[in-house]
Amino acid sequence: MNQSMDTTGSRTGMWLFLYTEIMLFGGLFVIYAAYYRMHTMDFIASGKELDMVMGAANTVILLISSFCVAASITAVQQERKKLACTLLSITLALGFLFLINKYFEWGHKFDLGIYPDSPAMEDSPHGRILFFSLYYTITGLHGIHIVIGMILLSVTMLFIFMDKIRADHFVFLENAGLYWHLVDLIWIFIFPLFYLIL
């Protein structure tokens, strides 16, 4: 009975936490929408400066990683500990690959002088400055969430090795999975807003 109550409490707490994360990014998306309405043409022109192939690759990477997390929960339920750890290892590798792609993407933009308060941006239209300010803020915040998710999944994998997560007790893995799915979902919104803008 106590374990059931703890499980319910953990899940409820996680959903409440995820709600605050949704509100955070939701607020940023509302700000984006407001500025897009005010500077539509500048936003469209700025969006064309981003690498759509890189953005699409990161989308595929996160979708595959979400599948691996979901499959790891099934593996734990089936008492296939080694498979669960393998799937989580793949997820961590994909998360790392996402961050590497983002590093090179940001690095290329910095090399071109495309970042807030850079000399190259001084004479840019106000809409372009706003677009890239939001781009770095939102994708940077998302990147931080990727790192947090990777730490959570690493701890989860350790708990599986230690048998703290098993077929009859896997709520921590479920919660870590929910967090990772949220990170994936947020990117699904980021990708069209910045890379497919029309």
Three-state DSSP string of the chain: CHHHHHHHHHHHHHHHHHHHHHHHHHHHHHHHHHHHHHCHHHHHHHHCCCCHHHHHHHHHHHHHHHHHHHHHHHHHHCCCHHHHHHHHHHHHHHHHHHHHHHHHHHHHHHHCCCCCCCHHHCCCCHHHHHHHHHHHHHHHHHHHHHHHHHHHHHHHHHHHHCCCCECCECHHHHHHHHHHHHHHHHHHHHHHHHHCCC
Helix 2-38 vs helix 126-161: crossing angle, to nearest 10: 160
Confidence (pLDDT) at 152: 96
Which pLDDT value is given to residue 3? 52
User: Which pLDDT score, from 0 to 100, does residue 2 have?
Assistant: 44
Q: Given this model, what pLDDT does residue 4 score?
A: 54
Give the predicted TM-score (pTM) of the model.
0.91
Domains of the chain: 2-195 (1.20.120.80)
Q: What is the pLDDT of residue 9?
A: 76
For residue range 22-35, what is the model confidence (pLDDT) as tens digits? 999 999 999 999 99
Tell me what pLDDT residue 195 has: 95
- The pLDDT value recorded for residue 6 is 58
pLDDT tens, per residue, the chain with 198 residues = 445 545 777 888 888 999 999 999 999 999 999 999 999 999 999 999 999 999 999 999 999 999 999 999 999 999 999 999 999 999 999 999 999 999 999 999 999 999 888 988 988 999 999 999 999 999 999 999 999 999 999 999 999 999 999 988 889 999 999 999 999 999 999 999 999 987
